[in-house]
Amino acid sequence: MTQSKPKFAPQISVPATYMRGGTSKGTFFKLSDLPERCQVPGKARDNFLLRVIGSPDPYGKQIDGLGNGSSSTSKTVILSEAKQANHDVNYLFGQVNIAKPMIDWAGNCGNLTAAVGACAINMGIVDAKKVAASSESGICEVRIWQENIGKTIIAHVPVYQDENGNVQVQETGDFELDGVTFPAAEVKIEFIDPVDSSSDMFPTNNLVDDFNVSGCGLDKDSVKATFISAGIPTIFMKAEDLGFTGTELQGDINSNSETLAKLEKIRAKGGVAMGVFKDIIEAQSSQHIPKIAWVAPAQSYTASSGKAVDESDIDLVVRAMSMGQLHHAMMGTAAVAIAAAATTQGTLVNEAAGGGSLGEVRFGHPSGTLLVGGKTEQIDGRWQAKKVSMSRSARRIMVGEVFVPADAF
């Protein structure tokens, strides 16, 4: 008797690590562990990762995948051996759209960057001799090549020697990061030369522009804006020009469809103004870049956790949109843009922080505060950010296998 073929696709399993990095979570893969046809860019890889996360989901919950219905958790990372000299790991990031069958490969995730060094060590990608030698200092300096943007990032990963003499990543500790419930080990991150030396950090060649926002639903046709490309292309505006205070929480923005539509129109126009898009139609193809953010002088407010943030403890307040929603804290890449803009005299961010020469600022965001530092300078008439730094934390949540239907990709 001939046995008929099953009318369903079996599931395949792929090794994966589920990690928190900063205020984001993502599913991490080692490139060589992926199905062969997913080891190169293309439709198969995208479809595989979409199914892992549970997108596209018209319900917006990603119930049938590892995403959690939030831009902060709808993320994937692929790590591999570094191809660039003097680097330890190659890091490729994919921002998975929740409702659409789309993955945005255009930018980096600064929050998940905090987890890359630790994950690369645990996956055996970082040279074992280098890891072993770091036990004396307690810090393994992992040099990361960020493939999406072609930049170097250095992660200072805390390590310790276990009872068997093996060097392990330290994940627990007493470092508190607003937006994350539990303390963990501090991971210091340095973004090296986050702006191309051949380009200007301010793509319009101005620190502040008169930005045409006609047709966007504001009560004026032109507002002041700082367009910056550091960490991630970002449009900074004054909170008051948008009708905001700068102390908004997610519920104030994300529950208002009219406000969201207005901000998306402004983001699209800003993307054209700073050269990210040819026209506003093209903006529909990328929600990941540019980001739109608004700033205001320091003021007291209550964070989403109920924690009181006092204006005396911060230099300014900042709110930023991510994938069409107000971020619950602050994207790591946007924090790079904030640091670069705040430490450049004359930008809207610098002015909101009090103006003058600044080497670091602490800004208030929906979940609390964050300290960032930066160094910018003008070279041959172009502004450049030489280095931006911040502290985050990271932790493994799950290591195992993720299952995906074989016909999904």
- In this structure, are residues 368 and 305 in contact, taking their beta carbons and an 8 Å threshold? yes
Chain centroid, CA 353 distance in Å: 23
Q: How far apart are CA 265 and CA 259, in angstroms?
A: 10
DSSP reduced 3-state for 133: helix
The residue from 19, 38, 102, 109 that is catalytic is 109
- Match 């990608």 to its residue by tokens: 125
Rounded Cα gap, residues 115 and 35, in angstroms: 23
Nearest alpha-carbon partner for 116 in 107, 131, 126, 106: 126
Contact 299, 247 (CB under 8 A): yes
Whether 119 is catalytic: no
Q: How far is CA 305 from the centre of its chain?
A: 21
User: Angle 43-47-50 (CA atoms, 0-180°, nearest 5)?
Assistant: 140
Q: Note if 331 is an active site residue.
A: yes
Amino acid at position 93, single letter? F
Number of helices (H) and strands (E) in the chain: give both, helices first. Answer: 7, 20
CA 175 vs. chain centroid, Å, equals: 20
CA angle 16, 334, 30 (to 5 degrees): 15
Picking from 293, 292, 250, 237, the residue whose alpha carbon sits closest to that of residue 72 is: 250
Q: Which two tokens stand for residue 119?
A: 């994950």
Q: Catalytic residue among 38, 102, 237, 331, which? A: 331
Residue at token pair 């007291």: 300
- Residues recognised as catalytic: 109, 331
